[in-house]
Amino acid sequence: MINENEMKLEFISKSNNEAFARITVAAFVASLDPTIEEISDIKTAVSEAVTNSIVHGYENTLGIISVNCKIKNREVTVEISDNGKGIENIEMAKQPLYTSKPNLERSGMGFTIMESFMDSLKVESVLGVGTKITMKKTIKEQEKEEAMSLEEALRG
C-alpha cells in the first residue's frame, strides 16, 4: 500500500512564524516515526528556508510564505516559496559562509545546513518574482522503541 499525504501552509513573513512553520512540518512528518535526529534536521532546514524568505526574500516587509509538504511512502518533500525579490546568484548564495548581509551577524550557513541536513535541495529563483526551495528527505525504517512520538515532536 502506498502511504501518501499532503498539507499546505500559508503565513505572513513575520519572524515568530519561523517556529510555527518548523513545528507544523515536524508534526506532519511525525506519522513516519522519525528519530529525534531526523526530526531535528527537518526542523532546522525548514527554519533556515523560512528565515531566508523573511530576511532576504521580503527583507522584513510583509509578504506571504507558502509551505507545501508531501509524504510518499517514507520520502518527505518540503517546498517553501515566497514572492520576494529573488536571488541574483544562486551558486554564490549557496557557498558556505557567504552572506549578503554580513553586518547583521549572519553566518552564511543557511543553504549549507539545508543541503547537508536533507537528502536533496533544489533552489529556483526569479529576480523580482520569488524563490522556491524544494527539499527531500527519506525517513528510515526503524525499531518502534526508537521512534519519536507525536507528543514529543510537538513539544520539541
Q: Which residues are catalytic?
A: 48, 52, 106
Residues that bind other proteins (CB under 8 A): 15-16, 18-19, 22, 36-37, 40, 43-44, 47-48, 51, 54-55, 104-107, 109-110, 112-113, 116, 155-156
Q: Given the complex with other proteins, which of 3 and 120 has the nearer CB atom?
A: 120
Q: Given the complex with other proteins, which of 15 and 95 has the nearer CB atom?
A: 15
Answer yes or no: are the C-beta atoms of 80 and 58 closer than 8 Å: no
Q: Given the complex with other proteins, which of 33 and 48 has the nearer CB atom?
A: 48
Per DSSP, helices labelled H in the chain are 17-29, 36-52, 90-94, 110-117, 150-155
- Helix 36-52 and helix 110-117, axial crossing angle in degrees, nearest 10: 150
Q: Given the complex with other proteins, which of 89 and 116 has the nearer CB atom?
A: 116
Least separation in angstroms between CB 74 and other proteins? 21
Least separation in angstroms between CB 68 and other proteins? 20
Least separation in angstroms between CB 50 and other proteins? 9
Which is nearest to 57 in space by CA: 87, 80, 18, 79?
Answer: 87
For 2, the grid coordinates are 502506498
CA distance 125 to 119: 20
Least separation in angstroms between CB 24 and other proteins? 14
> How far are the Cα atoms of 109, 148, 150 from residue 33, in angstroms, in the given order?
28, 6, 8
